């Protein structure tokens, strides 16, 4: 057990634990509070989370529960839940109730209320574990964290879209690992911008100039499955290792700052297929699919957790787009029982089909244009 009064923890989603750690280390009183980064995602996380979650609840709920239970068992007594839209908006209350019924004693801090983020309310919740925290400092650290998240998103997008072109296999992964380690401890904007330039230069130098002919795949679908690699069985990594260029839209920066104002544009873009929102990311899945088709992508992968209604709504529309625009789309649903071997086999078959299709298109073009 920790000697600190408070041990604070939170659920995983991708590598966002790094800017969260950076933020929390500035918000807590280090004499009384310790940060516990949740255990790395594992089979145990989803098994234990599923065991104590309602059977038909969304899979991200179960992952969050797994993270919380693992952290509580290691001594955490303050839990942070981000909350969010769709059914995510009700996760916090249900999770809190289940964990209390299980006998855990803890403080629970939610960042988003059903009506959105109320910075003063969130400040009040942190103040309960750090009496010395001033509102001005809290707000400034929050703004800094948003900038750090933005840099993380830009850097990871660069890595995702360039790893297939790296000069030496494994180099970008090493740079990425060091980037994450260093980001945890950045304290000022000056350090942050120097850090950003340093890592972008390192990454750019590790990539070939020749970015020729590769299979281009776009990933659309539900946000948690898109951003938490364990929950999609490391789909993006798998695709890169198979030699594909991978594009994905969803990041925290997108969700916080771009999604809202992009809605009108998505409705306009997808007007031949949908005339209203489908809930959560459903409309985006349709609109982004059309964008990928227009940008010459070879194939699209639609991903969702089991039982995700907005994405189930989007699927028949995507099937129609696939038929009408002659674009291959494959659908993956992930839950605690999904077999990695099954995903890999379908992925390989999908890729073979795209390679053959690309060759056929090239051959037809040669026959027409010589
Ligand atoms: S988007 Fe899907 S997985 Fe996420 S809360 Fe809504 S229904 Fe659940």
pLDDT in tens, 197-207: 999 999 999 99
- Full-model pTM: 0.95
Give CA–CA dist 312/333, Å, rounded: 10
Q: What is the mean pLDDT of residues 131-158?
A: 97
Residues 72 and 157 grouped into a single domain: no
Does the pLDDT of residue 238 top 90, yes or no? Answer: yes
Residue 2 — pLDDT band, cuts 50, 70, 90? Answer: low
Question: 294 C-alpha to center of ligand 1: Å?
Answer: 28
Mean pLDDT of the chain: 94
Q: What is the mean pLDDT of residues 184-193?
A: 97
Q: Which atom of ligand 1 is nearest to the CA of 91?
A: 5
Residues 195 and 290 grouped into a single domain: no
Tell me the best of 58, 259, 304 to mutate to test the pocket of ligand 1, counting ligand atoms within 8 Å of each CB and taking the most. 58
Q: What is the mean pLDDT of residues 230-243?
A: 95
Q: Domain holding 101: CATH number?
A: 3.40.50
Give CA–CA dist 254/261, Å, rounded: 10
Q: What is the mean pLDDT of residues 5-32?
A: 97
- CB atoms under 10 Å from CB of 219, counted, come to 24
Give the number of domains in the chain.
Answer: 3
* Domain end among 79, 98, 133: 133
Q: Which region among 6-10, 154-158, 186-190, 353-357 has the lowest average model confidence (pLDDT)?
A: 353-357
Question: 83 C-alpha to center of ligand 1: Å?
Answer: 12
User: What tens digit of pLDDT does each residue of 255-288 get?
Assistant: 989 998 999 999 999 999 999 999 999 999 999 9
Residues 272 and 257 grouped into a single domain: yes
Residues 84 and 171 grouped into a single domain: no
Q: Which atom of ligand 1 is nearest to the CA of 57?
A: 8
Does the pLDDT of residue 170 top 80, yes or no? Answer: yes
Tell me the DSSP string of 50-77.
Answer: HHTS-TTS-HHHHHHHHHHHHHHHTT--
Highest mean pLDDT among 239-243, 338-342, 356-360 belongs to 239-243
Give percent above pLDDT 70 in the chain. Answer: 98
Residues 273 and 321 grouped into a single domain: yes
- Residue 148, judged by CB atoms within 10 A of its CB (0-12, 13-18, 19+), counts as buried
Smallest CA separation from ligand 1 atom 7, residue: 308
* Domain end among 189, 209, 229: 209
Does the pLDDT of residue 84 top 80, yes or no? Answer: no
Smallest CA separation from ligand 1 atom 8, residue: 58
Confirm whether 140 is domain-assigned.
no
Confirm whether 138 is domain-assigned.
no
Residue 114: its pLDDT value, please?
67
DSSP state of 111: S
Does the pLDDT of residue 117 top 80, yes or no? Answer: no
Question: 86 C-alpha to center of ligand 1: Å?
Answer: 6
SS (H, E, C) 268-311: HHCCCCCCCCCCCCHHHHHHHHHHHHHCCCCEEEEEEECCCHHH
Question: 210 C-alpha to center of ligand 1: Å?
Answer: 40
Residues 70 and 178 grouped into a single domain: no
DSSP state of 207: B
Q: Which atom of ligand 1 is nearest to the CA of 305?
A: 3
Confirm whether 218 is domain-assigned.
yes
Tell me the best of 87, 283, 312, 313 to mutate to test the pocket of ligand 1, counting ligand atoms within 8 Å of each CB and taking the most. 87
Does the pLDDT of residue 319 top 80, yes or no? Answer: yes
Q: What is the mean pLDDT of residues 116-122?
A: 83
Q: Which atom of ligand 1 is nearest to the CA of 311?
A: 2
Question: 178 C-alpha to center of ligand 1: Å?
Answer: 33
Q: What is the mean pLDDT of residues 16-41?
A: 97
Q: What is the mean pLDDT of residues 75-83?
A: 93
Lining ligand 1 with CB less than 6 A are: 58, 60, 86-88, 222, 280, 305, 308-310
Q: Domain holding 237: CATH number?
A: 3.40.50.11900
Q: What is the mean pLDDT of residues 135-153?
A: 97
Does the pLDDT of residue 311 top 70, yes or no? Answer: yes
Q: Structural domain of residue 97, as residue ranges?
A: 6-133
């Amino acid at each position: 057990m920790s000697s600190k009064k408070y041990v604070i923890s939170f659920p995983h989603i991708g590598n966002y634990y790094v800017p969260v750690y950076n933020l929390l280390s500035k918000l807590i009183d280090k004499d009384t509070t310790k940060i516990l980064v949740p255990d790395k995602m594992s089979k145990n996380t989803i098994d234990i989370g599923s065991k104590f979650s309602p059977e038909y609840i969304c899979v991200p709920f179960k992952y969050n529960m797994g993270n919380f239970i693992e952290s509580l068992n290691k001594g955490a007594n303050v839990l942070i839940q981000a909350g969010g839209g769709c059914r995510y908006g009700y996760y916090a209350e249900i999770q809190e109730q289940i964990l209390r019924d299980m006998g855990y004693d803890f403080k629970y801090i939610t960042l988003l209320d059903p009506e959105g983020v109320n910075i003063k309310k969130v400040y009040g919740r942190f103040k309960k574990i750090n009496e010395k925290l001033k509102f001005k400092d809290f707000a400034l650290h929050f703004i800094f964290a948003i900038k750090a998240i933005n840099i993380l998103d830009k850097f990871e997008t660069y890595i995702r879209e360039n790893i297939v072109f790296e000069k030496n296999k494994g180099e970008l992964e090493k740079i990425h690992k060091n980037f994450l380690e260093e980001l945890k401890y950045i304290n000022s904007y000056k350090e942050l911008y120097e850090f950003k330039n340093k890592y972008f230069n390192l990454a750019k130098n590790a990539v070939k100039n020749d970015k020729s002919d590769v299979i281009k795949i776009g990933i659309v679908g539900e946000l948690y499955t898109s951003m938490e690699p364990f929950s999609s069985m490391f789909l993006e990594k798998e695709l890169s290792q198979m030699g594909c260029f991978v594009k994905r839209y969803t990041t925290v920066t997108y969700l916080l700052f771009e999604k809202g104002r992009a809605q009108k544009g998505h409705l306009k873009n997808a007007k031949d297929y949908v005339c209203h929102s489908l809930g959560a990311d459903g409309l985006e899945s349709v609109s982004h699919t059309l964008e990928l088709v227009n940008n010459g992508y070879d194939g699209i992968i639609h991903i969702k957790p089991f039982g995700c209604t907005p994405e189930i709504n989007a699927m028949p529309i995507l099937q129609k787009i696939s038929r009408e625009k002659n674009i291959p789309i494959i659908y993956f649903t992930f839950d605690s029982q999904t077999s990695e071997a099954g995903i890999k086999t379908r992925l390989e078959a999908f890729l073979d089909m795209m390679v053959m299709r690309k060759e056929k298109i090239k051959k037809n073009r040669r026959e027409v244009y010589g």
